Structure 1
Amino acid sequence: MSAASNTGVAILGSGIFAKEAHLPALETLGPLAPKLKAVYSRSEKSARELADEAATKLRTTPQIYHDGDPSTNLDALLARSDISTVIVVLPITLQPSIILKALAAGKHVISEKPVAPDVASGAKLIAAYEAEYKSKGLVWRVAENFEAEPGYIAAGQALQAGKIGKVIFFSMRAVNYIDQDSKWYKTPWRTIPDYQGGFLLDGGVHSAAALRVMLPSAMTHLSGFASLNVEWLAPHDTINTIIKSADGSHGIFELSFGAPTSSRTSIGNGTIITGTDGYLTVGQTKVKDPVTGGDKSVFRIVIKSVTRDADGKPGPEKEEVIDEPVRGVELELASFFAAALEGKDDGLGSPLGALRDVAIIEAALNSDGKSIDLEKLVSQS
């Protein structure tokens, strides 16, 4: 039995991702995760709905906390000595203050991406953590599930191993269709966002994180343009950029939530990374699960590399295919619980890494064709 069984965890926030991602991940982890002892939401109704789902999935009944009663508000939850860790799944602009509140109460924290609404507030949050709480042994991580996806990690490892030679250029395209009936759009804080970029920030940091994990060299400069093409997705829904990395490689990063039809999302999405001795592609697909017989989502990595004869002359292409199941939320939580409770650190969930993801989106929104130094943006904030 893991040490995780000796303490408790609380979920702060009861939205879609808490229900559809975090609860199933806790269910899969089983005894590797702490017992869910409490849930919090601003309203009693939403907190109760999350607690009911937790009772079904986890076979435990967490206590409900909400803002409608001072005796069961967030302060009361954070005062509990049997809860050592909290998962923060709240609207983007609320999260920094709640993260600090939980740390001040002596709790380990894993907070959903993005780390903050902008680079400046994210840098301030990181500085506060490092100055006041890190030395006390408190762990704070950012839950960026794309960073933990085995598919992106495998792609990065293949590049580090030189399977396509030196990376010379790359492209990532992620075009999404969001209509007004989408469950994601109907979330009130997404419908009228009070943070830069709207869906581009909320969803775009995933793509930035994937590039960060895969590319063997840090992204250093960005130039691009942002636009709004679907009025109700304000303030922006599309960015098209060129990115340069420290090793001299460069590439295209295109992101949009303003596709005119759902079929547009199936054309051209994915990542292609080209090297001196081949190329690598990464994309999501469905495969048959040999256990259940149903379909399951995987990240498929296809590596095409040049073979050479004894004289170094190129021969037929060699192909390697790697399928990795989509399980980033599960793995980011497993990693966090191991770090918080057992003192391990595998590098996942770094707030500074998540800040670099926000810097990519912020630079793209503000570039207007000018080159932006990403390292300078992060370091001066």
Structure 2
Amino acid sequence: MAPVGVAILGSGIFAREGTSPVKPLVKAIYSRSEKSAAGLASAAESTLKLSAKPDIYHDGDSSANLDVLLARSDIAAVIVVLPITTQPGIILKALAAGKHVLSEKPVGKDVATGLELIKEYEEKYQPKGLIWRVAENLETETGYQAAAKAIRDGKIGKVVFYNARVVNYINRDSKWYNTPWRTVPDYQGGFLLDGGVHTLAALRVLLPSPIKTVSGVASLTKEFLTPQDTINAVVKSADGSHGLIELTWGAPTPSRSERAFNGITITGTNGWLSVNQVKVVDGARPVGGLRTTIQIAKRDKDGNDIGETEEIIDKTTDGVPNEIRFFVDAIGGSDNGLGTPRGALRDVAFIQAALNSNGSPIDLENLLGL
């Protein structure tokens, strides 16, 4: 397949640090300001030793604005890495211009926005062969896919219960906090929506049955992380398995996060597995990765417990390059089904339900209109 001409729309942290696997295909950069677009274009040229800097587009020049960029026939796809509330209009604008779209998660600021966007895509643009995927990198991580396969293969038996814990420490100096749209979020949940969908996407990959019912309580620990920074939820899947999900960006000290034992644990009738972030040794260089630890019960012919076996699967972190590669593959006709907008909408639905539950059960299927 010939390389796909790509434009990056947005020049924030992810655009600078998260899209390196696709930069060799990048022909253009768009941002609201010329300065930010030029900065990303220069970084791409330097880092990848490109023969030419990507073309720059911005709102300050009507001859080089977004409409002009989208009119280019040599650009087949765009990667949208803009603030949550800005993205929907840009996604539709790009689709209307005949471009394939990979948009940063979440799929929308709330379920209603996501549903409206998906409906328009499925009715107007999907029939034309245009691909829209949501960049949820945990869904495409080889580590989570390997753990999911172990569960599908029956290594831990039937899934009975599970838990997910994410405890993060954010201070005012954090690069993740110091962006204008995060400091004054105009979307539900703040970091809980922006970051929490990652955990829900991972659970969506791992669990054999989707989460159906959510009963949660949300609160605010740090005033600058308004409107909420913490969720604790009890959940039940469609198959009857159930779990606990803890999400917070409001840890009072770094040690609270460092010693939280963050990760996901799935327990079955014949064992359990956990998935945790680790440093994996790759030759002489430690790199970020995911470790799946599988503990399987050993039983004699009478069913008595006689011990357990352990299996460890280490995979280096590869979600970002995978999500981009899979998007390009889908454009070329080889679609593995990962990154669909409807899948990403389930993650938003969980966050919305947990924020609004106040302890009462909310049916996600009803919330999604299914």
Residue 282 of structure 1 is matched in structure 2 by: 275
Verify: 1:240 aligned to 2:220, yes or no: no
Matches within 5 A, 1:1-381: 2-4=1-3, 7-22=4-19, 24-26=20-22, 35-60=25-50, 61-266=53-258, 267-290=260-283, 293-340=284-331, 342-379=332-369
Where 2:308 maps in the other structure, the secondary structure is strand
Q: Deviations over 1:327-360 (max 9, x none)?
A: 10100000000111x1111011110000000001
Distance 2:353 2:31 in 1: 33
1:319 and 1:246 map into 2 onto residues whose CA distance is: 29
Q: How far off its partner does 1:82 sit? A: 0.4
Q: Percent identity, aligned pairs only? A: 61
Residues 213-248 of structure 1: CA distance to partner in whole angstroms, max 9, x if unpaired? 101111100001000110000000000001100110
Cα distance, 1:26 vs. partner? Answer: 2.2
Q: CA deviation at 1:309?
A: 2.2
Deviation at 1:104, TM superposition (A): 0.1
CA distance in 2, matches of 1:311, 1:256: 45
**CA root-mean-square deviation:** 1.0
Give how far 1:134 is off.
Answer: 0.4
Gaps of 5+ in 2: none
Number of matched residues?
367
Quote the Cα distance in structure 1 between the aligned partners of 2:311 and 2:248: 30
User: Distance between the aligned counterparts of 1:345 and 1:307, measured in 2?
Assistant: 39
User: What's the offset of the Cα at 1:308?
Assistant: 2.0
User: Whole-Å Cα distance in 1 between the matches of residues 34 and 254 of structure 2?
Assistant: 36
Task: Assess if the C-alpha contact under 8 Å between 1:26 and 1:58 holds in 2.
Answer: no
Alpha-carbon distance in structure 1 between the residues aligned to 2:221 and 2:167:
13
Q: CA deviation at 1:117?
A: 0.4
In structure 2, distance between residues paired with 1:25 and 1:119: 31
Post-superposition Cα deviations, 1:89-110, rounded to whole Å, max 9, x if no partner, equal: 0000000000000000000000
**Deviation, structure 1 residue 152:** 1.0
Give the Cα–Cα distance (whole angstroms) in 1 for the partners of residues 119 and 280 of structure 2: 44
Displacement, 1:156?
1.0
Task: Tell me, yes or no, if the aligned pair for 1:92 and 1:116 is still in contact at 8 Å.
Answer: yes
- Matched AA of 1:276: T
> Aligned partner of 1:230: which letter?
K
**What is the deviation of 1:160?**
0.9
Kept after mapping to 1: 8 A contact 2:280/2:314: no
CA–CA distance in 1 between the matches of 2:105 and 2:68? Answer: 25
Distance 1:26 1:304 in 2: 38
Deviation per CA, 1:108-134, whole angstroms, max 9, x where unpaired?
A: 000000001000000000000000000
- 2: distance between equivalents of 1:26 and 1:97? 23
Question: Structure 1 CA distance, aligned partners of 2:363 and 2:305?
Answer: 38
Between stretches 233-242 and 305-314, larger displacement belongs to 305-314
> In 1, distance between residues paired with 2:83 and 2:37?
15
Deviation readout 1:123-159 (Å, 9 max, x if unpaired) = 0000000000000010000010010011111111111
Deviation at 1:255, TM superposition (A): 0.1
2:368 partner SS:
helix
Partners of 2:266 and 2:127 in 1: how far apart?
40
Structure 1 stretches lacking a partner, 5+ long: none
Shift of residue 287 of structure 1? 2.5
Q: 1:26 and 1:102 mapped to 2: Cα distance?
A: 18
Distance 1:269 1:317 in 2: 24
